[in-house]
Homo-oligomer: A and B are copies of this chain.
Amino acid sequence: MANFGLQDLMVVAPYEPVWQEVRSAVGAEEVVRSARAFGRLEEAIGDANLVVGTTAGGRRNLDRDLLSLTELPGWLRARREGGRLRQAALLFGSEKTGLSNEAMSFCHALVQIPTAPQCPSMNLGQAVAVCCYELARAGVVSVPPRVVKLRHSDAGNLQSLEHTLARLVKVLDEVGYLKPKSRHAQILKLRRLLLDLGLTNYDVRVLGGILAQIEWKLNNP
């Protein structure tokens, strides 16, 4: 990350004995010093408004946009120019299992490093290096940081989307929409649906207001 100018490292549920002893390479001290550990993925990516997951592709049935890594810079650039990119998170799974379906449900797109079919799965550190290299190569991460002012039309970040989803789930539970057996899968689908809507912060507030009102009515029949 530090080699290619990326700074903001977040780690989800790290194995504590190892995490406490992480030491940085020369020149990367700041990345390690400022790294943050979170218990849950949603907390780690809460500030992002676009989440891109990484996958070796293959077996799993993915219903997200699947990009080649070489297409990722263009994909991000198009969204930045369209005002839909404020902060992007690039998400890596564990080396053994990759991203869970749960984790993928937070992703707006999935990116695949174009590896050889007979050896598709990469070492985690090497996958991170290659992704950071491609982003730097395309100039996506070397642009100077811009001051962003909130506007009505700003894309909603994941934290507020998750908040909205939680409210929605609460309501749907109360109204009996979610069935115990399929509840989890339904929630994943709803999350994707919310992501795909491309809600702005204004939209999120409106939706939150609607849900609050429904909640109130349910509790005060």
- 0 or 1 for each of A124-152: is its CB under 8 Å from B? (1 = yes): 01111110011011000000000000000
A83: B residues at CB distance < 8 A: none
In the bound complex, what is the Cα–Cα distance between A130 and B2 (angstroms)? 14
Interface residues of A in 7-42 (CB under 8 A from B): 25-28
Is A201 at the interface (CB under 8 A from chain B)?
no
Q: Size of chain A's interface in residues, with CB distance under 8 A?
A: 29
* In-complex Cβ contact of A116 among B4, B123, B126 (8 A): B4
Give, as a whole number of angstroms, the nearest-CB distance from A111 to chain B.
Answer: 13
B119 touches A70 (CB 8 A): no
* In-complex Cβ contact of A122 among B3, B121, B123, B134 (8 A): B3
* In-complex Cβ contact of A3 among B3, B27, B115, B128 (8 A): B115
In the bound complex, what is the Cα–Cα distance between A147 and B136 (angstroms)? 37
B121 touches A133 (CB 8 A): no
In the bound complex, what is the Cα–Cα distance between A197 and B51 (angstroms)? 52
Give, as a whole number of angstroms, the nearest-CB distance from A138 to chain B.
Answer: 10
Is A5 at the interface (CB under 8 A from chain B)?
yes
* In-complex Cβ contact of A2 among B25, B27, B119, B133 (8 A): B119
* In-complex Cβ contact of A123 among B115, B121, B129, B134 (8 A): B129
Is A209 at the interface (CB under 8 A from chain B)?
no
Instruction: Using CB atoms and an 8 Å cutoff, list the residues of chain A in contact with chain B.
Output: 2-5, 25-28, 70, 113-116, 118-123, 125-130, 133-134, 136-137
Which 7 pairs from chain A and chain B are nearest by CB?
Answer: A27-B119, A126-B129, A2-B119, A3-B115, A5-B116, A130-B133, A3-B122
Task: Other than A3-B120, A125-B126, give 14 A-B pairs with Cβ distance below 8 A.
Answer: A3-B121, A3-B126, A4-B116, A26-B121, A27-B119, A28-B119, A70-B137, A114-B136, A116-B136, A125-B125, A126-B128, A127-B129, A130-B133, A133-B133
